[in-house]
Structure 1
Amino acid sequence: MTYSQQWELESIYPGGASSPKLKEEIKQAEQRIAELRELLKQANAASYESLVKQTEIVEEVLATLREADSYTACLMAQNMFDKEAVLLNDRLKNLSAAYTSALTEFDHHLGSIEQKEWVRLLSQPALAVVAYNLNERRELAKKKMAPELESLAADLAIDGYHGWGDFYNTIVSRMTFKLDDDTVLSAGQMSNRLDDQDRSKRLAAFKLWEQGWGEQADLFTDTLNHLSGYRLKWYQNRGWSSYLQEPLQMNRMSEATLKSMWQAVEQGKQLLIPYFERKAKLLGVDKLEWHDVEAPLATASGEQMSYDEAAAFIIEQFSGFSSELAAFAKQAFEKQWIEAEDRQGKRPGGFCTSFPKSKETRIFMTFSGSASNVSTLAHELGHAYHQHVMKDMPPLTQEYAMNVAETASTFAEMIVSDRALQRAVSKEEKLALVEDKIQRAVAFYMNIHARFIFESAFYEKRSEGPLTTEMLNELMVNAQQEAFVDQLSVYHPHFWAAKLHFYLTDVPFYNFPYTFGYLFSAGIYKRALTEGPSFASAYDALLQDTGRLSVEELAQKHLAVDLTQTDFWEEAAALVAEDVELFLELTEQQTK
């Protein structure tokens, strides 16, 4: 079957950024926000009936905003020059600020209810289903500024904090990379050149890549300094002493869990050193360079995989774990929920976004046929399936954190890679597949850790004042050297400029959740292998609880493990040893 590589958005909101349906929903959301504020002013605001109505409005507007935000993100991603979409995005940011302001009042109101009465209210049927989420909001409100100050900060953030985040996309949209043959590529297209199997082409692409980001570095420096400065000042006024307080709270995890995870990762890195040494030898160099790390030594079929082949491959591998997961993936391809076309004008990277009102998802990426592209596609389908199993739940309980979101996506990658490796026949195919698995471990143990080390050091220094481009480059290289245990001879100084994740304003420290998701899913996958097909339903049940439990509670309930201890993490991190051993075995003859 031939699948379209362009997604379908008209069924969500016909008419693009000028959609009459979207404009009407925005208008209704504005009215509902005003209604919520009126309810909060009434004398009986703390009554059961009033609180139920308030919660209904909160969830209704939340779903509308998620739907509209997702749609707008899709428009801007598919065409970075869509000015109407940019204007729509600005309007939605204003609406989000109004909603955040009303939520601040709502949260403050929750905190004002006497504890005994609060417990009684949450025990009632209509509120019991969202009790965890309401209680979470109530407790967090106690750690913030006064409601009027939080509302003011949210309003100022539109053209300040979030404005700088949007400016990053503006800079990237104007960047082009000119090859020797005068071919002009966007950042998204150029990033795919960094995985070329031909080392000379890869090296040339990496030099051009570094040069391109370096030419715009001063703009990125200003942007990052202003974003972080705003964030730190916000924390200071809340009385928060740690820059990790917000990301940990948003990911519903403790610092003890974070520390235990990184401790296990440090041990896991040692298992990867033989892989680095062998790969360098195979490439004829003393040490790998940055662009060598993700470059494949072989491809599974000896050539690039077409989009249709990738789709069939992923669906087949998913079916080995769960018929539900396979059927969902097939539906995503058939209904054109995926934008994968390789063309200019698209933003770089990949993402999955959900439409809670339509109960659908959309996936964005640029597919050029590499093994990395296939992994990305499986990864994003994992995200989409996570949303799929939660689509009929209350909107508040669908608000799962990024770390557990990465669990579902990484789990999907593991299914595809393991099933493919089991059925591989040729030595070349086995080598390509096992190296792809190892590269994911490298990404989560080392690349992501480098981002965490960089951001931690950056925020420490940023609290003393703005940093220069040279200082940022130095911090980045130092972080990469530490994270990669000095296994590379050339690093990526401007990685801090090239990586969108450092500039996102919705999620601070967009790094450690990836490693959490990888290791957490590895532990879950090990459980799935032990329990067999019956685990598929247990897996769905775990995903459904991700929006209403802390990660420690989630792991205790569904896996009976304590995430604040290193045991679970060490077992998960050690799973890469088998892959490295196979890689060494497959490449032994090539080094003689």
Structure 2
Amino acid sequence: MHPLPFPAPTPLRDAATDTGGKNLGALPDWDLSDLYPAPDAPEIKRDMDWLEAACRDFAADYEGKLADLDAAGMLDCVLRYERIDTVSGRLMSYMGLRYYQNTTDAERAKAMADAQDKITTYTTPLVFYTLEINRLPDDHLDGLFAANADLARYKPIFDRLRAMKPYQLSDELEKFLHDSSTVGAAAWNRLFDETIAGMMFEVDGEAYNIEGTLNFLSEPERDKREAAARELAAQFGSQIKLFARVHNTLAKEKEITDRWRGLPTPQAGRHLANHVEPEVVEALRNAVVAAYPKLSHRYYALKAKWMGLDKMQVWDRNAPLPREDNRIVDWDEAKATVLEAYADFDPEMARIAEPFFDRGWIDAGVKPGKAPGAFAHPTVAEVHPYVMLNYLGKPRDVMTLAHELGHGVHQVLAAGQGELLSSTPLTLAETASVFGEMLTFRKLLDAAPDKATRKILLAGKVEDMINTVVRQIAFYDFECKLHDARKAGELTPDEIGDLWMSVQGESLGPVFEFMDGYETFWAYIPHFVHSPFYVYAYAFGDGLVNALYAVYEEGDPDFRTKYFDMLKAGGSKHHKDLLEPFGLDASDPAFWDKGLSMISGMIDELEAMED
């Protein structure tokens, strides 16, 4: 089912502001009518009523009987389940997208919560489905797949369900966990979202929301960056007990559930959901941590030199470089830049992306109450994705557009797999988005008119890669430490802050000094709340795309066909099978070094420019 309608947002790129930019042109808003005509449309009640009856009838027809179904009967069962998943997903997508447009609107928040409550209640009778499938013998299922090719197409879904078989609880406990989910993690998620969205920060006598204040961290004026950083620290500090309560509660809830299930580590559930082996993630993590000195430490030492600083402060990390182009990129130029980059790779990619701009599939402007960050939500396979941005016309905003549009293209292509098989594991879900960014970056780099412009572009890309790889693995280490420490008891805000700071110096390097108050900056990261251990997927995706792009640059004549086939596969194949046509294997530790060497090579070029 769809207990939460959205993935975690893309990592904040410090590139959005509070009330919208000037001279950006007409920014598009969502047209949600492809889901439902209006929040009070009769189609919503129709689908809610259908869903309630469909779940009740499904349970009546199949509970206690899955073991007796032949191949044709099992296929009918799967197709009925898929239809239920589609209708519930459509409902929650509509309610969720409306809510994320204005998280401070009480009516929208209530509508989403009420819909979630109803869907959770309606789908509780379906909990038996996974439990009974996991009680079927392997040879019985294999026989069903052998007897019916249409059913065999769904084997990856059965494999994913059965990966949780060793950690399955009793029928009664599983139903209880499902039924209570709306007053557990989902409720704490909402408290976090609404608190963050409602916070205001004063910089130079003016009030801004969190997006506007984070934006100042990438402004040219150092005094303004410092003022914003100190105001963020002050306001986070004022709410730090609440944020600590959210994290303590969610970590404890997860520990209890994991303990009852017998999961070996706090990360194990995420790895299972991502269909990735723990040793692959550990190889990625170790490769990135080992590379800190030649990546982030080396780059930030260079940046400090460019800025004329002996030591960098946290408000200097995302500062623009001297001579960096600070012009505003209007919406039409951003659209043209990304679509041309996509078309240069393959016209089909631009053709798929075009409707996002023309049909109300993008919500670009920054508005009061709108959720921070950016995401692409696939909704359901029979509709289309929607992209959310907070666009203010900075060059990094163009990269964010390329990133989220890459997600959208991926989701359109994968939709052909149908509702159950279209969803891509998080480790591969970042592939098309990061690849889209790379295509856009390379187009801009090739068009650079001089050495100085090339240097600025390279440095910007390195910073984005450090934010995507180094920062996200540091976040992953922080989460690992947080969940491990929580097992011993309640954590004070200071103790959580100490864990946060323990990964900052290690990952950013000796050139940094850390202001008092920076120990609270864990508080606003949405990934820790919404999707524990999600963050390594960004580093996984970046490393994977760097390796893929190297294959592309080597001139594989079939690369485009292989690439589109990979995206069309959605969640129907394991990462080993998807990467095999490219001669790549993520379980090989050298794979990650190959990806990281692309970042290191860009830093080599930047260092060479110093001569």
TM range, smaller chain: over 0.9
Cα distance change, pair 370–36 in 1 and its aligned pair in 2 (3 A): same
* Residues 480-533 of structure 1, C-alpha deviations (whole Å, 9 max, x = no match): 1222244421263222211111110xx321211110011011111111222356
* Residues 277-333 of structure 1, C-alpha deviations (whole Å, 9 max, x = no match): 121122222122222222221576551211221111111111111211112222211
Cα distance change, pair 510–115 in 1 and its aligned pair in 2 (3 A): closer
Q: Does structure 2 conserve the Cα–Cα contact (< 8 Å) formed by 1:12 and 1:358?
A: no
Which one of the candidate residues 504, 508, 512 is aligned to 2:532? 508
Corresponding letter in the other structure for 1:233:
I
SS in 2 for 1:248: helix
**What is the match of residue 242 of structure 1?**
265
* Residues 104-133 of structure 1, C-alpha deviations (whole Å, 9 max, x = no match): 311122123333221111221221111111
**What is the match of residue 97 of structure 1?**
120
SS in 1 for 2:416: coil
Q: Does 1:258 align with 2:281?
A: yes
Which one of the candidate residues 57, 60, 63 is aligned to 1:41? 63
Q: Does 1:177 align with 2:201?
A: yes
Which one of the candidate residues 281, 284, 287 is aligned to 2:305? 281
Q: Distance in 2 between matches of 1:259 and 1:285?
A: 35
Q: Distance in 1 between matches of 2:117 and 2:511?
A: 47
Cα distance change, pair 103–513 in 1 and its aligned pair in 2 (3 A): farther
Which one of the candidate residues 70, 87, 90 is aligned to 2:110? 87
**What is the match of residue 568 of structure 2?**
544
Q: Does structure 2 conserve the Cα–Cα contact (< 8 Å) formed by 1:349 and 1:365?
A: yes
Q: Does structure 1 conserve the Cα–Cα contact (< 8 Å) formed by 2:102 and 2:108?
A: no
Q: Does structure 2 conserve the Cα–Cα contact (< 8 Å) formed by 1:7 and 1:339?
A: yes
Matches within 5 A, 1:568-583: 568-583=591-606
Which one of the candidate residues 67, 72, 96 is aligned to 1:73? 96
Between the aligned residues of both structures, percent identity stands at: 23
Question: Which of 298-307 and 313-322 deviates more?
Answer: 298-307
Corresponding letter in the other structure for 1:500:
P
* Residues 350-375 of structure 1, C-alpha deviations (whole Å, 9 max, x = no match): 11101225431111121111122111
Q: Distance in 2 between matches of 1:471 and 1:224?
A: 12
Q: Does 1:63 align with 2:86?
A: yes
Which one of the candidate residues 497, 503, 507 is aligned to 1:473? 497
**What is the match of residue 27 of structure 1?**
49
Cα distance change, pair 142–264 in 1 and its aligned pair in 2 (3 A): closer
Q: Distance in 1 between matches of 2:165 and 2:114?
A: 26
Q: Distance in 2 between matches of 1:41 and 1:488?
A: 60
Q: Distance in 1 between matches of 2:249 and 2:123?
A: 22
Corresponding letter in the other structure for 2:149:
P
Q: Does 1:320 align with 2:344?
A: yes
Cα distance change, pair 532–193 in 1 and its aligned pair in 2 (3 A): farther
Which one of the candidate residues 156, 166, 169 is aligned to 1:132? 156
Question: Offset at 1:434?
Answer: 0.8
Q: Which is bigger in relative contact order (C-alpha 8 A, separation at least 6)?
A: 2
Question: Which of 441-450 and 305-314 deviates more?
Answer: 441-450
Which one of the candidate residues 521, 525, 529 is aligned to 1:495? 521
Corresponding letter in the other structure for 2:186:
H
Q: Distance in 1 between matches of 2:122 and 2:337?
A: 43
**What is the match of residue 222 of structure 1?**
245
Cα distance change, pair 149–292 in 1 and its aligned pair in 2 (3 A): same
Corresponding letter in the other structure for 2:529:
Y
Matches within 5 A, 1:178-217: 178-181=202-205, 183-217=206-240
Cα distance change, pair 99–429 in 1 and its aligned pair in 2 (3 A): farther
**What is the match of residue 12 of structure 2?**
none
Q: Distance in 2 between matches of 1:133 and 1:42?
A: 20
Q: Does structure 2 conserve the Cα–Cα contact (< 8 Å) formed by 1:66 and 1:354?
A: no
Corresponding letter in the other structure for 2:523:
A
Which one of the candidate residues 404, 411, 420 is aligned to 1:380? 404
Cα distance change, pair 65–292 in 1 and its aligned pair in 2 (3 A): farther
Q: Distance in 2 between matches of 1:257 and 1:98?
A: 37
Question: Which of 480-489 and 338-347 deviates more?
Answer: 480-489
Q: Does structure 2 conserve the Cα–Cα contact (< 8 Å) formed by 1:268 and 1:445?
A: no
**What is the match of residue 329 of structure 2?**
305
**What is the match of residue 566 of structure 1?**
589
Question: Which of 122-131 and 19-28 deviates more?
Answer: 19-28
Name stretches of at least 5 consecutive residues in structure 2 with no aligned partner.
Answer: 1-23
Question: Offset at 1:30?
Answer: 1.9
Q: Distance in 2 between matches of 1:22 and 1:369?
A: 37
Which one of the candidate residues 109, 113, 135 is aligned to 1:112? 135
Question: Offset at 1:100?
Answer: 5.7
Q: Cα RMSD over matched residues? A: 2.1
Question: Which of 569-578 and 39-48 deviates more?
Answer: 39-48
Q: Distance in 1 between matches of 2:171 and 2:118?
A: 18
**What is the match of residue 550 of structure 2?**
526
**What is the match of residue 53 of structure 1?**
76
Q: Distance in 1 between matches of 2:136 and 2:502?
A: 49
**What is the match of residue 17 of structure 2?**
none
Q: Does structure 1 conserve the Cα–Cα contact (< 8 Å) formed by 2:63 and 2:129?
A: no
SS in 2 for 1:494: helix
**What is the match of residue 232 of structure 1?**
255
TM-score under structure 2 length normalisation: 0.91
Q: Distance in 1 between matches of 2:249 and 2:326?
A: 47
Q: Distance in 2 between matches of 1:301 and 1:159?
A: 48
Corresponding letter in the other structure for 1:29:
L
